[in-house]
């Protein structure tokens, strides 16, 4: 049965419940967005969303034309891999023709007994660098490259009195510089390694900022060469470290195996830093550190896994440093916009080629060094 025409027309003109609610909501939104405070909040939200794009456009890095490459070399780590460290060192100089080195002075080797010094290992390395007119960053102090990071002698730990320990450490810095200052190949002194970044077994006693500054002041008073202070490229604040010296050294890691100070209930995990290549340059600008004074002293070029590298399975090695990762890291670093890079892992490259029969990393790095010098 059809409804009378006038009733049908009436129903068309009478708003439904949904229409009434929609109109009410529209009026409320108009009133809400008409409020000044709401407009301000919306503008702020928009600025937050757009700020990364604006920052990138202003501070985006440019690939440097004459990038300089080098390596960090640790005689201790080469020995840990079961290698003759002198053979590795000479092959590095003669086969790879590395021009830039970061070398390490290990306190517990140099001063095994109090006030009795043996600089033979580092002097042998510096003598070879001197013959070839190479450039050396020399890392000195209690905390220096390679795990467990802190390499203090036993007699120093047994002192227990921190005031006496502080005096001995500053005196050690003085002796190192006085002993090695005649080497012209040393271009920069690195005093301590990531001293303001908590990493490594350095709690007995912990690293103290005031003491690090005393060490740096001692180094500056003895020699006019620049001082480099290292910080974590990924987790450090940069400016405090840079302010303490003349150059800032940073790490550049892509994939690590770490427990992040127990944050994952003591479990270690593989973790890829979610950082685009341009974030390092932007961080430099935002922290007021001149990018021309930044040296990437630890460019990851070896695996980071649950054991020393020569004990890892191929699957474990590939998780953090496969052939693809190696090439990708080099490209990533170039695009980051810095001029000086020191690879981390030359000892492992040697082990891969001459012990494991895999020449890829050694030979590829050699091609990089060759291209950079030509």
Q: What is the pLDDT of residue 348?
A: 98
Partner residues linked to 341 by β-bridges: 69, 296
Mean pLDDT of 103-121: 98
**Alpha carbon separation from 117 to 120, 121, 151, 179 (Å, rounded):** 9, 11, 15, 10
Lowest mean pLDDT among 20-34, 214-228, 350-364: 20-34
The answer, yes or no, to whether residue 132 has pLDDT greater than 70, is yes
Sequence ranges of the domains in the chain: 67-373
pLDDT tens per residue, range 53-76: 655 666 667 888 899 999 999 999
Q: Are strands 226-231 and 100-104 parallel, antiparallel or unpaired?
A: unpaired
Q: Decide which of 65 and 89 is more confident.
A: 89
pLDDT tens per residue, range 177-203: 999 999 999 999 999 999 999 999 999
Q: What is the pLDDT of residue 310?
A: 97
First to last CA, the chain: 96
Question: 271, exposed or middle or buried, with CB in 10 Å at 0-12, 13-18, 19+?
Answer: middle
The answer, yes or no, to whether residue 236 has pLDDT greater than 90, is yes
Mean pLDDT of 80-85: 98
The answer, yes or no, to whether residue 334 has pLDDT greater than 50, is yes
Per CATH, the number for 67-373 is 3.20.20.80
How far is the C-alpha of 118 from the C-alpha of 293, rounded, in Å?
A: 33
Closest CA to 298 of 64, 74, 60: 74
Q: What is the DSSP letter of 3?
A: P
The answer, yes or no, to whether residue 13 has pLDDT greater than 70, is no
Q: What is the pTM of this model?
A: 0.85
The overall average pLDDT reported for the chain is 90
DSSP string spanning 84-125?
-HHHHHHHHHHTS---EEEEE--HHHHTSBTTB---HHHHHH
The answer, yes or no, to whether residue 352 has pLDDT greater than 90, is yes
């Amino acid at each position: 049965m059809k409804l009378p025409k006038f009733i049908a027309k009436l129903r068309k003109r009478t708003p439904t419940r949904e229409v009434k609610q929609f109109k009410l909501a529209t009026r409320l939104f108009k009133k809400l967005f008409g409020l000044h405070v709401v407009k301000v909040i919306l503008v702020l939200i928009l600025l937050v969303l757009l700020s990364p794009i604006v920052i990138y456009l202003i501070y985006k890095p440019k690939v440097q034309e004459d990038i300089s490459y080098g390596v960090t070399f640790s005689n201790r780590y080469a020995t840990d891999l079961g290698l003759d460290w002198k053979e590795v060192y000479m092959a590095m100089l003669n086969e790879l023709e590395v021009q830039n080195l970061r070398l390490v002075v290990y306190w517990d080797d140099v001063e095994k007994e109090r006030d009795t010094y043996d600089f033979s290992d580092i002097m042998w390395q510096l003598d070879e660098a001197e013959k070839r007119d190479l450039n050396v960053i020399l890392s000195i102090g209690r905390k220096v490259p390679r795990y467990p990071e802190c390499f203090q002698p036993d007699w120093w730990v047994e002192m227990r009195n921190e005031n006496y320990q502080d005096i001995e450490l500053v005196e050690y810095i003085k002796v190192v510089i006085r002993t090695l200052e005649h080497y012209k190949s040393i271009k920069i002194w690195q005093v301590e390694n990531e001293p303001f970044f908590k990493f490594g077994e350095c709690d007995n006693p912990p690293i103290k900022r005031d003491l690090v500054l005393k060490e740096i002041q001692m180094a500056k008073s003895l020699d006019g060469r620049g001082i480099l202070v290292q910080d974590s490229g990924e987790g450090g604040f940069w400016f405090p470290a840079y302010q303490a010296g003349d150059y800032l050294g940073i790490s550049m890691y892509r994939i690590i195996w770490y427990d992040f100070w127990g944050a994952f209930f003591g479990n270690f995990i593989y973790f890829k830093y979610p950082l685009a290549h341009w974030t390092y340059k932007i961080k430099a600008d935002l922290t007021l550190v001149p990018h021309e004074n930044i040296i990437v002293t630890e460019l990851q070029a070896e695996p980071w896994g649950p054991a020393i590298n020569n004990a890892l399975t191929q699957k474990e090695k590939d998780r953090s440093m496969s052939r693809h990762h190696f090439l990708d890291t080099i490209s990533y670093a170039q695009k980051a916009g810095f001029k000086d890079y020191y690879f981390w892992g030359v000892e492992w490259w040697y082990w891969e080629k001459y012990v494991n029969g895999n020449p890829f990393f050694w030979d590829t790095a050699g091609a990089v060094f060759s291209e950079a010098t030509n």
